[in-house]
Amino acid sequence: MSQPQKKPRLLIVDDNATLVENLTEILEDAGYSVHGHGTCQSALAGAREGFDVALVDLRLPDGNGTELAPQLKEASPDGEVVLLTGFATLESAVAAVRAGACAYLVKPCATQELLVTVEQAMRHVRLHGEKRELSRRAQMAEKLAAVGTMTAGLSHEIRNPLNAAALQLTVLERRVQKLSKDVQQPLLDPLHLVRDEIRRLDHILEDFLQFARPREFQPHPVEVATVLTKVLDLLEGEAERRDVALERQFDSVPAVAGDEERLRQVVMNLALNALDAVGRGGTVRVSCRLEEPDAREVAIYVDDSGRGVPLEVRDRLFEPFFTTKAQGSGLGLSIVHAIVAQHGGTITIEDAPDSGARFALRLPRAR
């Protein structure tokens, strides 16, 4: 799903400090975030943090640009390299192509030419990103389809014997409770373990069924504060048990277009994840606001004071079955993703204002 626009990140790799300074000034004015490096080694370290376009001098103190270019691209595969050369010779053009660069610039280059070349390289970068996103979505759609088919058949088949087992377990528990205290406990412990496991299975089946029951979607105006209040009221007790502060901060916002029950499920899944992400003494904050006075979408944030989500796994979280929890089904966020997409909204993972993760939900206003 779309991430908020970030400034494209450029690397300039040249040992001529004045040139780096000049290029930086021009490119920063044009809206890029620019990082200068004087050596191959320093450039490689910079590239590991990701880059969009690298402008690389052919001759560097500790190597040359044609060798550095493929290494940079390996560090950040969607990035593009533009070689900087002192002379417009056939050799430099050939060197640029061999190094996998998408263009080369002859120094000192005119501002206009510089900007056009970087913009062209950025177009390549966006294309790489779009291609990757498309193939990821295709994979996800495949997985979802597989889940759907499997679910429909299996869930009911499993649920019936599971309910019967749960019922028999209750009968057994009652009978055990009638026994004398000293024999009760050793019997009750394993019994409760089985009961908890049955509950877990039931929870997983419930998640599966969400995919199997694609009810018709008819959006109505939904009051955001009502949805949030209902979810938070339900979670109050659980938060207290875990010694987590559950905060709410609702601005007055317009209604959104959607299905109240499903939106409650979205917020519930996000809030449960947030509760799981923080330890005792942590904080979970749910808030809503308009990010701009005339914004067409209402923003709902679920922030937590946990460890946050590393950039490189953010996309994977929404894949079905991705979980890092021993007891998780890994379906919570894929259900969230499906419901939000159905609403024509977006969900992104950002950094929470005071560390931790922010799940930002943006939903279209009701007309």
Q: Which residues of the chain form contacts with ligand ATP (CB under 6 A)?
A: 207, 269, 273-274, 277, 304, 306, 309, 317, 322-325, 328-334, 357
Considering only CA atoms, give the Rg of the chain: 27
Least Cβ distance, residue 17 to Mg ion (angstroms): 50
d(CA 306, CA 276): 9
Query: Left, alpha or beta for 64 (phi > 0: left; psi -120 to 50: alpha)?
Result: beta
Query: Left, alpha or beta for 12 (phi > 0: left; psi -120 to 50: alpha)?
Result: beta
Question: Which region among 117-125, 249-257, 288-296, 326-334 touches Mg ion (by CB under 5 A)?
Answer: 326-334
d(CA 293, CA 141): 36
Q: Out of Mg ion, ligand ATP, none, which partner does residue 319 contact, by CB within 5 to 8 A per kind?
A: none
Query: Left, alpha or beta for 286 (phi > 0: left; psi -120 to 50: alpha)?
Result: beta
d(CA 51, CA 34): 10
The 218-257 contact track toward Mg ion, x by CB under 5 A, reads: ----------------------------------------
Q: How many residues bind Mg ion (CB under 5 A)?
A: 2
d(CA 139, CA 228): 32
Q: Out of ligand ATP, Mg ion, none, which partner does residue 309 contact, by CB within 5 to 8 A per kind?
A: ligand ATP
Q: Out of Mg ion, ligand ATP, none, which partner does residue 330 contact, by CB within 5 to 8 A per kind?
A: ligand ATP
Least Cβ distance, residue 328 to Mg ion (angstroms): 6
Q: Out of Mg ion, ligand ATP, none, which partner does residue 357 contact, by CB within 5 to 8 A per kind?
A: ligand ATP
User: Listing from the earlier edge strand, what are the strands of the sheet with 103-106?
Assistant: 33-37, 9-13, 53-57, 80-85, 103-106
Measured between its terminal Cα atoms, the distance across the chain in Å is 24
Buried b (16+ CB within 10 A) or exposed e, 131-161: eeeeeeeeebeeebeebeeebeeebeeebee
Residue 38 or 332: the one with the smaller Cβ distance to ligand ATP is 332
Least Cβ distance, residue 98 to Mg ion (angstroms): 48
Q: Out of ligand ATP, Mg ion, none, which partner does residue 274 contact, by CB within 5 to 8 A per kind?
A: ligand ATP
Least Cβ distance, residue 283 to Mg ion (angstroms): 18
Residue 265 binds Mg ion, judged by CB under 5 A: no
Lookup result for tokens 């419930």:
206
Read off the amino acid at residue 109: C
Residue 242, phi then psi, degrees to nearest 5: -90, 5
CB-closest chain residue to Mg ion? 332
Residue 267 or 357: the one with the smaller Cβ distance to ligand ATP is 357
Least Cβ distance, residue 342 to Mg ion (angstroms): 19
Least Cβ distance, residue 323 to ligand ATP (angstroms): 3
Least Cβ distance, residue 258 to ligand ATP (angstroms): 20
Figure out which of the listed residues 38, 46, 332, 345 binds Mg ion, where binding follows CB under 5 A: 332
Provide the binding-site residues for Mg ion, judged by CB under 5 A.
Answer: 273, 332
